[in-house]
Amino acid sequence: MTAPAGRPCARTRPAAWACRHASVTAPGAGASIVEPADPPAMDTANPAASGARILVVDDQEDNVRLLADLLSCHDYRVETASGGQEALDSVDRSAPDLILLDVAMPGLSGLQVLRRLRADTRFALLPIVLVTALDPDVERIKGLEAGADDFVTKPINSAELLARVRSLVRVKYLFDRVEAQADELEATEQRSRAARRRQGRGSRASVQAEALSAAQVAARVSGDGLEALLASHRAEIAVVFFDLRGFTAFSERSEPEDVMRVLSEFHHAIGTQSQRFAGTIERFVGDGAMIFFNDPEPVADPCAQAARFALAVFEACRTPLERWRREEFELHIGSGLAYGYATSARSGSAIATTTASSARSPTWLRAVRRSPGREIIVSARAAAALPASFHTEPVGR
């Protein structure tokens, strides 16, 4: 195995730690890589790290060599640039997975390069780490304003650098997977719609109705027509909120496969029960979801129906939650129920935007409880609308 530019890599010696640069100072630059007491372990199990392309940008050749040696010996593919314009040209030809960008360079500075990249929508989410020997507090503020994702200061601590690189590469890997899956889902849906059109069932009304993602809504369209469904109106609705508590911290430290599996199981439980209880999914937002009852599909006693739905979701998630706990995923499900009047109006050609006044800033007063960890926080109005068969307890303002 060889490092870029033909440099030998110390991983050919199994008993030795690769790239052992302890307090090696680059002449004239005052930079160094400091070796920690315990060398960082190779991250061979992380699919995001394996083969990720890192662009190292620095006008000091010795600094570039130190960083390139360290990264290449941890399974990263390293490309280098000695100036700002060379870095921009390299990214334009083929965007890397992450950039280590020196701040103080002649010509285009690191901050100027950063601003130009962020101004290009193609690189708006490209992970960029600023490397600086200047005042870290001042440069951090400037870097954040310009769009930097993280910082490392010189002299560079190798363990810290590798941890930051590994974390950002993992986030990019996960984001790329989500984008690819979204594109694949969209392509599949387009093929499905095209097939239905060819079969004579692809009228404009049916295709737009399917975009609302509810079988009962599609049935109403076929009877009342799409225009009637999307006409502006007011209705008294129940709104159920769900979210995965602890998801942000979990997603930052977990493998992408585990994150996607948890989201899939969570979404499946909500989607299945919403169909069972005649709810309309207003949105899925990552670890959260919002479901309407009584609009656009009328529901008898919407508040009670919404509460039963929420309890059914908790029951459907019981097995996944137990498995997540065994896997030491610190995740919990939270739920809220609001009840009030909503104004529904057309936005665009086939989308209904609905806002419930009581759901926007509800005063949460009570909880419907069935067992520890399975409670629905409800607004005062929702609690009053629930039948006596639902036991509620005050939880305070």
Q: Give the residue-averaged pLDDT of 374-391.
A: 83
Per-residue confidence band for 75, with pLDDT thresholds at 50, 70 and 90: confident
Q: Is residue 342 part of a domain?
A: yes
pLDDT of residue 256: 85
Highest mean pLDDT among 25-39, 67-81, 246-260: 67-81
Last residue of a domain, one of 110, 145, 173: 173
pLDDT at 362 over 70: no
Residues 164 and 26 in one domain: yes
Residues 218 and 366 in one domain: yes
Q: Is residue 190 part of a domain?
A: no
Residues 122 and 29 in one domain: yes
Distance set, CA 290 to CA 238, 293, 335, 339 (Å): 10, 10, 10, 13
Which CATH number do you get for residue 380? 3.30.70.1230
Residues 281 and 356 in one domain: yes
Q: Is residue 281 part of a domain?
A: yes
Residues 147 and 239 in one domain: no
pLDDT of residue 210: 42
Largest Cα span, the chain: 79
Q: Is residue 187 part of a domain?
A: no
Number of domains in the chain: 2
pLDDT at 83 over 50: yes
Q: Are 218 and 212 in contact (CB under 8 A)?
A: yes
Output the DSSP codes for 71-103.
Answer: HHTTT-EEEEESSHHHHHHHHHHS--SEEEEES
Domain membership of residue 326 as a residue range: 212-394
CA 132 – CA 203 distance, rounded (Å): 60
pTM (whole model) above 0.75 = no
Residues 221 and 349 in one domain: yes
Q: Is residue 192 part of a domain?
A: no
pLDDT at 202 over 60: no
Residues 141 and 227 in one domain: no
Residues 112 and 220 in one domain: no
Q: Give the residue-averaged pLDDT of 244-264.
A: 87
Residue 245 CB partners (closer than 8 Å, separation 6+) = 331, 332, 333, 334
Please return the burial class of 6, using the count of CB atoms within 10 Å of its CB with bins 0-12, 13-18 and 19+.
exposed
Q: Is residue 199 part of a domain?
A: no
Q: Is residue 253 part of a domain?
A: yes
pLDDT of residue 124: 85
Q: What percent of the chain has pLDDT above 90? A: 21
Residue 344 CB partners (closer than 8 Å, separation 6+) = 232, 233, 234, 235, 295, 296, 352, 353, 354
CA 340 – CA 325 distance, rounded (Å): 36
Q: Give the residue-averaged pLDDT of 249-255.
A: 86
- Amino acid residing at 316: A
Query: In terms of C-beta distances under 8 Å and separation of at least 24 residues, what long-range contacts does 13-19 make, across chains too?
Result: 18/42, 18/73, 18/74, 19/69, 19/70, 19/72, 19/73, 19/74, 19/158
pLDDT tens-digit readout, 283-293: 777 788 889 89
Which CATH number do you get for residue 48? 3.40.50.2300
Q: Is residue 158 part of a domain?
A: yes
